[in-house]
């Protein structure tokens, strides 16, 4: 009874609870508002060939912001770190809203990602400071529910503002979203003591090299000569490989030293968490765009279709949270399997089949993530090498964001080559669906193989664990 009481959240916890949920909710709102309005943005600015860049630059700078949070919090305190990041988000939103061309929209999305990366990481860090250990699981559960609710609200607000006014109004609205968090932060954090913990300098050169590698892949569709584009892809891959090589010899590490080999369970689990976003990114890069421009859905409805997989992910994660341990390995293996089936369904249905079949495929994609993500994370952290706990915990969101950014860049390269940057017809959409979603299904099958090896490696280590 005492332990149960210790984990309860009372009235005195309401303000801190609201604060740590506002950062998570703001991130989800901006993510899905922007995803909903981007088809209208590129149509209005005549820049359909740049739609994938909005996702790539956003995800890359989100990683940079998350890494920068610890240093900013240690140097300036949680309150001023929150203020600075909120200003960056607002400036990015206003830059996108006022943009005369796609270039300033992309600058705005990059600034949004940078500020949001800080705010989301800060929200998770404050959970450990504002609540007891017994209360932390409940708080994280409420944050997951907040994410699910704001996933529903993002397309609604973004689509409605686009339809009654314009996409610029939607970006102006995102500039106001940090304000409630600042108001609550002023009440709680201004008197909050600054942490005395020593923070190691972030590995900025390796992060910059990762960023340049992803951007080089994304820029491969720009050169006038295909050979130069191929060289950019190779250069991007080489930079990412170089970072992985250097990271084993530098401290602090970006990734655990077992990554990227295919033997240690931590490395195999991280491969699953990298490959699944790598497979899925075309869904949110081109899903709403094709549905709005080819299937003639409204911005709101196309946005909801695009967010269906995320809602299915959240609901499934809640439903399987108490799954008995004996069923969890099957859940891990079924996750990438369902992802492959869902992406295969999208490859077959997006161009010609009834919209309910497209919707069903999106649900299967989301269920694939929701049914396994939590258990893969748990087993990675249970198998972590001594002294690499924090590195491994930080590598999980870094690799997921990196997978999404690389996939968005590759999706833009393939989509523009097929013709998604021009007027859409059945043949273009069919070929693009096969290439983007079918290619993603193949990557998901590779994640299935990794999941199988992951479970075998866990079984091998179990007697000595």
Same domain, 240 and 271: no
Tell whether 8 is covered by a domain.
no
Same domain, 284 and 374: yes
What does the alpha-carbon distance between residue 178 and residue 115 come to, in Å, rounded to a whole number?
10
Cα of 2 vs its chain's centroid, Å: 38
Give pLDDT tens digits for 164-177.
999 999 999 999 99
Cβ atoms of residues 64 and 88 within 8 Å:
no
Other Cβ atoms closer than 10 A to 320: 19
Tell whether 2 is covered by a domain.
no
Same domain, 117 and 157: yes
Give pLDDT tens digits for 60-105.
999 888 888 878 888 888 899 999 999 999 999 999 999 999 999 9
pLDDT of residue 192: 65
Give pLDDT tens digits for 270-287.
999 999 999 998 998 899
Same domain, 164 and 44: yes
Other Cβ atoms closer than 10 A to 272: 25
Same domain, 247 and 264: no
Tell whether 150 is covered by a domain.
yes
Give pLDDT tens digits for 306-346.
889 888 988 898 888 788 888 999 999 999 999 999 999 99
Same domain, 247 and 268: no
pLDDT of residue 324: 87
In degrees rounded to 5, what are phi and psi of residue 367?
Answer: -60, -35
pLDDT at residue 454 is higher than 60: yes
pLDDT at residue 145 is higher than 60: yes
Looking at 145, 161, 191, which one is the last position of a domain? 191
Same domain, 312 and 210: no
Same domain, 175 and 268: no
Same domain, 26 and 130: yes
Tell whether 235 is covered by a domain.
yes
- The mean pLDDT of the chain is 88
Cβ burial of 64 (10 Å; 0-12, 13-18, 19+) is buried
Tell whether 3 is covered by a domain.
no
Tell whether 6 is covered by a domain.
no
- Distance (Å) of CA 157 to CA 31, 40, 152, 170, 179: 12, 14, 9, 8, 17
- Structural domain tally of the chain? 3
Same domain, 329 and 434: yes
pLDDT of residue 112: 96
Tell whether 196 is covered by a domain.
no
Give the domain extent around 413.
Answer: 260-465
Which stretches of 47-101 are DSSP H helices?
A: 51-76, 78-97
Task: Residue 55: give its domain's CATH number.
Answer: 1.20.1250.20
N- to C-terminal Cα distance for the chain?
Answer: 31
Tell whether 438 is covered by a domain.
yes
At 356, the pLDDT band (50, 70, 90 cuts) reads very high
pLDDT at residue 465 is higher than 50: no
Looking at 183, 216, 251, which one is the last position of a domain? 251
Same domain, 359 and 306: yes
Same domain, 270 and 222: no
Looking at 234, 251, 268, which one is the last position of a domain? 251
């Amino acid at each position: 009874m005492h332990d149960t009481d210790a984990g309860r959240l009372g009235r005195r916890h309401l303000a801190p609870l609201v604060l740590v949920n506002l950062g998570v909710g703001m991130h989800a709102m901006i993510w899905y508002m922007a995803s909903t309005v981007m088809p209208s943005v590129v149509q209005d600015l005549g820049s359909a060939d740049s739609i994938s860049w909005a996702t790539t630059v956003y995800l890359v700078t989100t990683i940079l912001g998350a890494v920068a949070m610890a240093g900013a919090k240690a140097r300036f305190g949680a309150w001023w770190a929150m203020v600075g990041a909120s200003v960056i988000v607002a400036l990015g939103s206003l830059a996108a809203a006022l943009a005369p061309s796609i270039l300033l929209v992309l600058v705005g999305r990059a600034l949004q990602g940078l500020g949001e990366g800080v705010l989301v990481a800060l929200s998770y860090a404050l959970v450990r400071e504002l609540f007891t250990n017994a209360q932390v699981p409940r708080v994280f559960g409420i944050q997951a529910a907040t994410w699910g609710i704001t996933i529903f609200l993002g397309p609604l607000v973004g689509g409605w503002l686009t339809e009654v006014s314009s996409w610029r109004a939607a970006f102006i609205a995102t500039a106001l979203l940090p304000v409630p968090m600042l108001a609550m932060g002023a009440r709680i954090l201004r008197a909050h003591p600054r942490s005395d913990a020593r923070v190691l300098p972030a590995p900025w050169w390796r992060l910059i090299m990762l960023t340049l590698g992803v951007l080089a892949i994304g820029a491969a569709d720009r050169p006038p000569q295909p050979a130069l584009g191929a060289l950019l892809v190779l250069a991007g891959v080489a930079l990412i490989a170089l970072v992985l090589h250097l990271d084993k010899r530098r401290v602090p590490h970006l990734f655990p030293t077992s990554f990227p080999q295919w033997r240690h369970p931590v490395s195999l689990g991280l491969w699953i968490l990298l490959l699944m976003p790598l497979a899925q990114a075309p869904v949110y890069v081109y899903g709403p765009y094709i549905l709005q421009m080819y299937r003639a859905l409204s911005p709101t409805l196309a946005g909801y279709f695009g967010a269906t997989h995320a809602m299915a992910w959240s609901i499934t994660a809640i439903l399987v949270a108490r799954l008995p341990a004996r069923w969890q390995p099957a859940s891990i293996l079924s996750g990438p399997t369902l992802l492959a089936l869902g992406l295969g369904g999208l490859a077959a249905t997006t161009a010609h089949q009834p919209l309910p079949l497209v919707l069903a495929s999106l649900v299967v994609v989301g269920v694939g993530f929701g049914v396994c993500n939590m258990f893969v994370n748990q087993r990675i952290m249970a198998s972590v090498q001594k002294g690499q706990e924090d590195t491994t915990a930080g590598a999980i969101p870094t690799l997921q964001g990196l997978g999404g950014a690389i996939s968005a860049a590759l999706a833009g390269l393939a989509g523009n080559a097929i013709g998604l940057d021009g007027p859409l017809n059945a043949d273009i959409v069919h070929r693009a669906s096969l290439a983007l979603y079918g290619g993603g299904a193949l990557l998901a099958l590779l994640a299935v193989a990794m999941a199988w090896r992951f479970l075998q490696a866990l079984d091998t280590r179990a007697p000595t664990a």
